[in-house]
Each structure stands twice: as C-alpha cells, then as structure tokens.
Structure 1
C-alpha cells in the first residue's frame, strides 16, 4: 500500500474529513481530534498495512505509523486541507479534565517540536566543538551558530502562539501579534534595566517582565483570544468584521494579557519549576527511579506533555532540565537495550526482523516501533526496559544530572549534558549505559516466548501440507446466512479484507470451522483468525463495531498459536449485550488470503439457517 492509499484508507475509516477537527503528527504517530469517535472504525484501521496500532489517548485518536509517519501525514494533509470540520460535538468529549489538558499541550507542542529539537541538537554539537577546542565562545562563527540555535528558544512565544491559535481555532496572525506584544523590546529593556517596575494603562498596572522562552503566558493569552474573537464575530456585522474584529481582539486581549494573564502564567511556570526541583532535592534517587521506570507508560498515555511547561520554565530560568529530558533519555536507551536483547534471544525470524528495524530508531530516541512492535508485544522485555530505566533514573536522580537543551532523548542528545567544570556529562553517560545494559541483560534473563513454538513457525509447517484439493470451510456460527456485499461495513462489503459471507448469529458461540492454528486474537475478543491445515486463513468477526464493547460480553477460550480441531469452541459471546448497545450482529466470515486461491465459492444460500460445525459454508478452490 502506498502512502497515498494508506492515507485515504485512514481518513475514510476515521469517518471522512467531516469528522476531523484537527490533525497533526509527532515522530511516529498521526494524531487527530475528531467530532464523533463512534464513527471511527478502529479495528479496520489497526488491520491496515503500514499501521502498527491505533488508540484513543489524552482526548486524541492516535495511529502509530513509525518512521514513515511524515510521508503518510503529507498525504493526509492533502486530503484534509480546507475540509476539516469547524464544529465539535460536546457530548462526545471526554469528561476527564486531565485528558483534555494533555490533548491541548500535545496539540500545541507536537507541531513545533522539529524547530525545538533541531535547535537543541545544534546547541549540543556546539558544546562538543567548544570542549574539543574546535570553536571558542568568543569567535564570530560561534556567535552566528549560537544565534541560529538560540533563536527558537528566545522567540519561543511566537512558535507557541501560532501553534496554540491553530489548536484553539482562532486567528494565527492575531496569536503571533500577541506574542510580539509580550516580546516588545521596550518591555524587555525595562525588565532588564530594573528601573521601571510597571507601566500604567487605563488604570491597569503592567508589570515589566521578560517573557522570552516562556510558554504558559502566551498559551493562556491565545486561549483568551479564542473566546474574545468568537464574541467579537457575534456582535460585529459580517461586512465590517475584517476591520473591527481584529481591532477588538487586540484592544481587549493584549491589555488583559499584559496585566493579568502573562504574570500569572509566569508565576505558574515558576512554581512548576520549583516543584520539580524540590522533588529531586528531597528524594532524588527515588524520584529518578520512579520516573525513569514509569516513563514508557507515561509516554504511551501522552502524560509526558504535562511536563513540557515545567521543562521550558526550568530551562528558561536555570538553563537546564532535571526531569523530563534526562529521565526520558535513560528510559529510551533502556528500551533500546531490551530490543537488542530480543534480537539476540528470539528465534522467531519475523520478530527478529522487526526488532532489528526498531532497534536503530530507539537508540536515537524514537521508541514507539520498539514498544508497540517488540517489547510490549512480548511483555517481559517491556518489564526489562522499565527496570533499566529505573536504574538509570536512580543514577540521574542521585547526581542531579542536567540537560542543557531540548533535544530528542536519544544518543545524539548526550552532548546537551556537557557542562564545563563538572562531571555532569560523565554521570549522564554512566546512567545511559547502565539503563541500556540492564535493559539488555534483564531481557536475556527473563523467560518469554522466543519463537521455538510460535504460531509463525507452525504456520510455515501448515503451509507445507497445502495440497491441490478444494478446502471446505464449515460454519463457525449458528444463524442466518447473508451475502458479504450486504455488510453495513464497506471494508467487508467491498471484499477489501477478503471473500466470504456474513452470518446473523442465533447462538452466542464461535467454533473452529476446520482443524488448524489460531493465528490472531484481539484484546477485546470480538474477532479471531485461524489457519487451516490446507493453508486457508479465515477471519471470524463477531458483529460490527463490537470492538467498542472493550470485551464486555465476550469470552475467549484459546490463545494465539493454539492448535484447534473442527468444532472446538473459540469464543462465547452475549447476543443481548451487542443488541443493547445498538450494534450490528452481522458477522463476517472471510478468507483473508483469497488472492492465493483460484476461487472462493459460497456453498449456502442467502437467508438459509445453518448450524455451527455441521454446515459447509465456503469452498476454497486451489
């Protein structure tokens, strides 16, 4: 599937552009804010070639793509440009306040991370050049490079303003104008000189503060702008809105921002920085171990974005961060170590290939392919990575290891730990190596399925027995036969998944339609894949959109890789539960490797009532 085809399938299964409010991407994931999450066919998206996983996290719908996410996003952006929904469905929004906060912070910072991480890495390379006497801090070359690297952080309010305006659906140029007000040279000069504490404006006191490198003041200001603009558009006639709406927005928002919001935001940033600094002063090793060990879970849930304001506040005030960036670094290298352990230990060729391809990005701080494709899938290596992260975090917490610039927490970020006259870089290297080695060794020590008896090997054995005789597929369900083309789900109806038929079940039980190997199960137990001894791959999907039940009313009796015989019970399900949730009982039974065969013949008539394991429903012609 090409990037364009994958993008088209993703947008279609999300519910079309009319169901998308906002879309952006990070290093490995496509991220969406949607109008109605019930329209998303998450199960179908997970099955797309090129998709590693899909989930709702922190108020967003996230699709894990991996290293190709930038290319796929470009195609998604082409499809959605100028077509996104302007309205949201309040009833569908999460009631979890934390989720909404994480969604806002993620939506603001993710689109501008390229500039932040690129500038941060340049600062690290400059530090190496100074230590190696390639550059001096007084040379003109260093001064120019420093301007290039430091501009992003000094003028960070401008980047944040533009991104926040897009997130809050307000005018980006007005948002950037507010950032310009905050960064106006007169205010910065007065703040630096200290001679003028404040200016008076219509009875308001405007404190003279330097807001360079800050993020919270401008985020709060743009949030206020979004409300002021909506009100202004309601009271100003459309014919005059292009003139008076911007005027009202600036005259109302800017003074309130300067007098109240910006000082409040600065104060919040200061207290966030003080909290994290005090936490490490009181319990450095323990705090480091907890954060380093739990960081993979924090990143998976999107909670790491909650630390961004504190991180930037700390870097702006002290010039370094001791929380998010350092502990993310040890966690990521522990993940890389665990992935390397899988490469050495697994005998499953497919898993080894996946682990090798995921290892290199994880070393450079891109760990989603390793987490979703390797360690979390095998479980024990994921635990090993958490132990490695905890060890590295404890070392970082003990020696208060500092990161002096924002960079992707991978091996290339190590130069950002250089500090003249201290052992900060040495401690950083010790912590990184420790987390990597512990993650690697613990993976080798833990016992997990290394592939000797995996379904992948069994499948290759099964395929060897494939012969020229037609394969008969017995009914996996009792119920009424339907044509697959009449399936309400277009993905099945168009035979994208494969050829087959539909069954409206009359009894809540799925049985094996032949003897073979279980090749696929789902956490929600609503679907199962099985490979016959003659090489036919069958997917049995109970109902439509039943993934939304999260396993309610479903009970699976076998595990992936298990050997089953014709008539063995695979899944029990409650028909009443599906009906009560207003979900369709139409259950597709499809041959997922249909192109490998000459023909797939439906052996029963439409609306015929069949009994599980006793009726021949499909004939596969080799």
Structure 2
C-alpha cells in the first residue's frame, strides 16, 4: 500500500483520529499519545504492509516504519489535523510516573533532533577539514561555518521552548518569549562578567544572573509552569478579553518565577547530573562503560535513553563534550551493525537475507531500529551478540575516557566529532567502534541460532544424528494445526509460564476462527469445567495441551463449548471445542493460544514447523514436528 493508505490504516486501527491526542515522529518511528489505549488493535497494525513493528513504550504508542517514516507521518498529520484537542479529559491516564517522564522528554527532543544532529555533523566535518589543513580556523569562512554549526546549540532554549509548548499544550509564541527572557543579552552579559551575581525584582525577589545558553532543563521546567499559569488565567479572564490579558498575566507571573526559582533549579539539576556521570566514569570507567554499552540496545528499545538527554546537553554546554550517552550509543549501534552483518553472511533464507541487508546499511549510520526489530531481536542470539560487542566497545571508551564534542546521530558519520587535536581521543574512538563491530559480527557467526529459515532448521533436526547413546531410532511425529490463525513463537507469549517452556515446548496461534480441531489421531485426556482448554494424547504418545487464550479460565465457560469428553477417541480433523472470540476480546483477555507438548522430556526435540507471522489453516499445515 502507498503511504496514504498505510496512514489511513494505522489511524483506523488506532481507534480513529479522535483517539489520537498527539502525534510526532523520530528517525524510524511514528509516536502517539492516545486517549484510550484499549481502542488500539496492535496486532492488526503489526500486520500492515510497511509496518515493521508496534508497541507501547514509555507512555507512548510507537509504530516502527523505517526510512519512510517522515512521508507516512505527513499523511498521518494531514488525517489528524484539526482533530487533536487540548481538553485534559482526552489525555491517557495509563503508565507510571517514569513512563510519563520518558514520554515528556522524548516528545520534546524528538521533533528538534534534525537541527541538533545536522549542526553536530557540520561541526564534525569542520574538525576534519581543520585537521587536514583544508580549512583555516582563523578564516572568515570558518567563522560563518562556526556560526551555522553553533547557533542551534547556543539558542537551544528557543527550539526546546517551541517543542515543549507543543508537548505541554500551551502557546508556542509565549514559550519562545520565555526563552528570549532567559537569554536576554543584558542578563547574559551580567552573568558572563561575574560582577553581579543577582538583582532584586520588586524589592524582595532575588533573581540570580545565570547564562542559560545551550541549557534545556530551565526552559523545559519554565514552559511546564507556564502551561498551568496560562490554563488558569483563561479560567479567570473573561473570554472577550482573553487575547489581551491572558498573555499579559502568563508572562508577568511566569517570567519572574522562572528567573528566580525554576531556571536556577534547572541549572542546578543539570549541573549535578553532569557531575554525577562524570564522577561515575572517573571512578569506574571501564565497568560503567561496559555496563552502559552492553545495555544500550535495551535502553534505546525502552525509550530510556531520552532520560539522559538533559545530562548530555548539560555536559556539552558546560564541559564542551559528552562521555556517556553519545559515545556508548555509538559503540552499541556499530555492534548492532556487526551482528546484522553476521546474520546476512550466515543465513541462507532469502527473506531474512534481504531484511538483514536493508537493515545493515542504516545501522552503520546510527539508525538501528530496522536491525533490532527486523533481525537481531527477532533471532534473539544475534541481539545478545550485539550486547556483547557494545560491552567491549563501552569498556574501551570508559577506560580511555573517549569524548564526543558535539551532538550527532551515533553512527560512522559521527566519528569526526571525536577529533581532538593533540590527543588520541579519535584513535580510541575508532578502536572502540571496530572492536564492538567485530565482536558483534564474530559472536553472531560462532553462536548457533535459528537463521529464520524454519524449513531448513526442521530438515536439519530430522536428518542430523543426535549423539545420544540411548537413541536407537530417528522418528518424527507431525502435529497438524488445531486452529486457523497466525503463528506465534511460544517465547513471545505474554504468560511467562508458557513462554519460559516450564509446561513444555510448543508454539502459539492467534486464532482467526472459532473452532479447535483434533491435530492427530488420539484420545481426549483432559477437559476443564471452564471449557477453555483440552488435553490430548496421540497414538504415537505425544501429549498435547491446547489452551485457548490467556486467563480465559476467568470467563467460567462463557463463550466456550465442548464437542467431546474425556476418554473419547478422536481422528485428526474432528471438532473438539468452539469459542467466541468476541467474548474473549470484550473481556480484554489475550487470544494467544499456546499449543504445548506436555511430555517434552520424552522426546529429542520439539521443532516448530512454521515461523512467527505465518498464517495457518486448521488441519491443513503442520505446526509442530516431534522428534524421537
């Protein structure tokens, strides 16, 4: 489907444009705040052509698109234009405080990353040109380029103000005016001179003279306060006078409070964030680097990396460099690229090879979502390999205190921002990147894992001799699908008891039909009063549990009906039970149906015959092959 069709489908499956309270995008994802998360059909969105994945994360609903995200967002924005309202009643109440904090920070910084990364990359290019004697640092050309690259960071409060105003649903022009007050030349001049530490307002309010250039926390906190002042001002000012007196009251109340209390508090928090992380890396650099580098993929996936943005900008503003978020993200991203290349080289499955190739190139340049969601996390062990590579690169960066001197997307193009004349900083940056890349690549090549070609894996499982002296024969038992629907890996089951394999190995199916059929010739061994599950044993001795949905025992049989009883002999294709999917969905229970071989230890292996996302028809395709 084209971008318009995809956008319309996403909005429709999200419960319509009326359910969307805010929408924006980052490099690869559409991001939404919604009024009611229960209206979202996440499984339907995941199946859309052009969608790589969908998830709730950090208080947001995220749809992973990839390189077309900006074009799809433009279509989504046109569809939702005019429907997003400011009424507090539309705001979602879901998520804990930490999720809401991450949501706020990401919602503020994501829309302005283009200016930040573009300016940061230009600073890196300038560093290369100066280092190669192709640009004179004293020339007028350098002066203009320096202004272009530094303006974004110097006037960062203005960018943050407008973005924060959209996030907090307040007037953007007033937010910009508040940023201008913080950066008013006379205030900044007094702060830089250091001769006047504070001034008095109205004879009693002490206002510190600080330089707020390049800062982010003061203006974020200031705009947050302003959103409440503006809201309550609208309640007390007559509507006919709103356009005149609401802006007046908002600025007169907010600005002095921000200058006297909020902005100094933001500076204080930012300073101590920067000091904490600098101290951490000074005391335990290699350990902290290995830990952060290894865990960075998980931090990014959960959206927690946005929590480090204020500290990063505080460090860049005060010290002129960052030693944590950007450097460790760089080694983690290149480790992800290495693991993806390992999959590309190793797999024989054509579809996975295509996905790995298309994800590898963006990962080199710091865009890792296609690699994470399409390749490494899907295959699991390559994801662990990428974490190992990130840990090795992070340890090197922590040991040698590798610094970046500007904000840029953490990929190969960011390496010039590590150039520091007279030091080996750039050298160690390259060593760390290469180490993380090759560790991710080599570990992926060495560790055996499912390559995404289920048929090949099945064939290997059936033909490769198993070195166990107790085995005298190699025989397989096929289990037909008892349901029609979409195949799911058991490890993705929301119920940890099934996902962990404690009950036994197997597979999952999200049903699109309403009946369960016998998957082989055998006998019914177990039924339940709630009629939500059934146990069978095949004539070959395979004991099977079919559990329709999760937590459906709570329905106490509503919507379920047996056609057999315990002890009945069945033939494959016989109807076993029926269920009403609407009843399960209305009760907000998962339709994920585990199909488990409960006597797994009696067999050499239980091999899924189909892969995640495949569609299956009851009685037509095998879903499990039991090897004895």
Same fold by TM (over 0.5)? yes
| Aligned residue in 2 for 1:314 | 315
After TM superposition, the structure 1 = structure 2 runs for residues 92-107 of structure 1, keeping only pairs within 5 Å, are: 92-107=92-107
| Aligned residue in 2 for 1:159 | 159
| Aligned residue in 2 for 1:361 | 362
After TM superposition, the structure 1 = structure 2 runs for residues 307-456 of structure 1, keeping only pairs within 5 Å, are: 307-451=308-452, 453-454=454-455
Structure 1 residue 582: Cα displacement: 3.9
TM-score (norm 2): 0.77
1:37-70 Cα offsets, whole Å, 9 max, x none, are 1111111111111111111110000011111111
CA 1:149/1:539 → structure 2, altered by over 3 Å: closer, same or farther?
same
| Aligned residue in 1 for 2:473 | none
CA 1:74/1:556 → structure 2, altered by over 3 Å: closer, same or farther?
farther
CA 1:88/1:244 → structure 2, altered by over 3 Å: closer, same or farther?
closer
| Aligned residue in 2 for 1:619 | none
Structure 1 residue 246: Cα displacement: 0.0
For the 8 Å contact 1:29–1:63, the answer to whether it is kept is yes
CA 1:455/1:254 → structure 2, altered by over 3 Å: closer, same or farther?
farther
Distance 2:588 2:228 in 1: 41
CA 1:340/1:587 → structure 2, altered by over 3 Å: closer, same or farther?
closer
Higher mean C-alpha deviation, range 291-300 or range 574-583: 574-583
For the 8 Å contact 1:542–1:585, the answer to whether it is kept is no
Distance 1:518 1:582 in 2: 20
| Aligned residue in 2 for 1:15 | 15
Structure 1 residue 519: Cα displacement: 5.1
Structure 1 residue 136: Cα displacement: 1.3
Q: Secondary structure at the match of 2:348?
A: coil
CA 1:513/1:46 → structure 2, altered by over 3 Å: closer, same or farther?
closer
Structure 1 residue 541: Cα displacement: 3.0
For the 8 Å contact 2:355–2:375, the answer to whether it is kept is yes
Distance 1:416 1:275 in 2: 23
CA 1:206/1:411 → structure 2, altered by over 3 Å: closer, same or farther?
same
Structure 1 residue 524: Cα displacement: 3.8
| Residue 577 of structure 1, aligned match among 554, 558, 577 | 554
Distance 1:251 1:354 in 2: 56
For the 8 Å contact 1:59–1:93, the answer to whether it is kept is no
For the 8 Å contact 1:23–1:33, the answer to whether it is kept is yes
| Residue 512 of structure 1, aligned match among 474, 479, 482 | 482
Distance 1:90 1:585 in 2: 25
Distance 2:393 2:591 in 1: 49
Structure 1 residue 92: Cα displacement: 4.6
1:311-346 Cα offsets, whole Å, 9 max, x none, are 000000000000000000000000000000001101
1:168-199 Cα offsets, whole Å, 9 max, x none, are 00000000000000010000111111122211
Q: Secondary structure at the match of 1:454?
A: helix
Deviating above 3 A after TM superposition, structure 1's stretches of 4 or more consecutive aligned residues are 88-92, 451-458, 517-522, 553-558, 567-582, 584-589
Q: Does the alignment pair 1:233 with 2:231? A: no
1:381-420 Cα offsets, whole Å, 9 max, x none, are 0000000000000000000000100000000000000001
For the 8 Å contact 2:333–2:363, the answer to whether it is kept is yes
Structure 1 residue 15: Cα displacement: 1.2
Distance 1:452 1:180 in 2: 58
Q: Secondary structure at the match of 2:83?
A: coil
Distance 1:234 1:49 in 2: 47
| Aligned residue in 1 for 2:84 | 84
For the 8 Å contact 1:161–1:179, the answer to whether it is kept is yes
Q: Secondary structure at the match of 1:55?
A: strand
CA 1:424/1:575 → structure 2, altered by over 3 Å: closer, same or farther?
closer
Structure 1 residue 588: Cα displacement: 13
Runs of at least 5 residues in structure 2 that lack an aligned partner in the other structure? 460-479, 496-508, 515-530, 556-582, 594-617, 621-628
For the 8 Å contact 1:35–1:87, the answer to whether it is kept is no
For the 8 Å contact 1:524–1:554, the answer to whether it is kept is no
Distance 2:387 2:422 in 1: 32
| Aligned residue in 1 for 2:36 | 36
1:217-255 Cα offsets, whole Å, 9 max, x none, are 000000000000011000000000000000000000000
Q: How many residues get paired?
A: 515
CA 1:12/1:85 → structure 2, altered by over 3 Å: closer, same or farther?
farther
Distance 1:345 1:588 in 2: 31
Structure 1 residue 17: Cα displacement: 1.5
Structure 1 residue 583: Cα displacement: 2.8
| Aligned residue in 1 for 2:69 | 69
Distance 1:521 1:450 in 2: 14
RMSD: 3.1
For the 8 Å contact 2:450–2:457, the answer to whether it is kept is no
For the 8 Å contact 2:33–2:61, the answer to whether it is kept is yes
For the 8 Å contact 1:395–1:431, the answer to whether it is kept is yes
| Aligned residue in 2 for 1:126 | 126
Higher mean C-alpha deviation, range 8-17 or range 437-446: 8-17
After TM superposition, the structure 1 = structure 2 runs for residues 169-188 of structure 1, keeping only pairs within 5 Å, are: 169-188=169-188
For the 8 Å contact 2:584–2:591, the answer to whether it is kept is no
For the 8 Å contact 1:290–1:393, the answer to whether it is kept is yes
1:412-438 Cα offsets, whole Å, 9 max, x none, are 000000001100000000000000000
Structure 1 residue 88: Cα displacement: 4.3
CA 1:180/1:585 → structure 2, altered by over 3 Å: closer, same or farther?
closer
Distance 1:554 1:402 in 2: 58
Runs of at least 5 residues in structure 1 that lack an aligned partner in the other structure? 459-509, 527-537, 544-552, 559-563, 590-611, 615-622
Distance 1:163 1:180 in 2: 15
| Aligned residue in 2 for 1:492 | none
Distance 1:39 1:429 in 2: 47
CA 1:330/1:555 → structure 2, altered by over 3 Å: closer, same or farther?
farther
Distance 1:454 1:525 in 2: 26
Distance 1:454 1:518 in 2: 17
CA 1:518/1:191 → structure 2, altered by over 3 Å: closer, same or farther?
closer
Structure 1 residue 16: Cα displacement: 1.3
Distance 2:355 2:535 in 1: 29
Q: Secondary structure at the match of 2:211?
A: coil
Q: Secondary structure at the match of 2:195?
A: coil
| Aligned residue in 2 for 1:596 | none
Distance 1:557 1:2 in 2: 45
Structure 1 residue 568: Cα displacement: 7.8
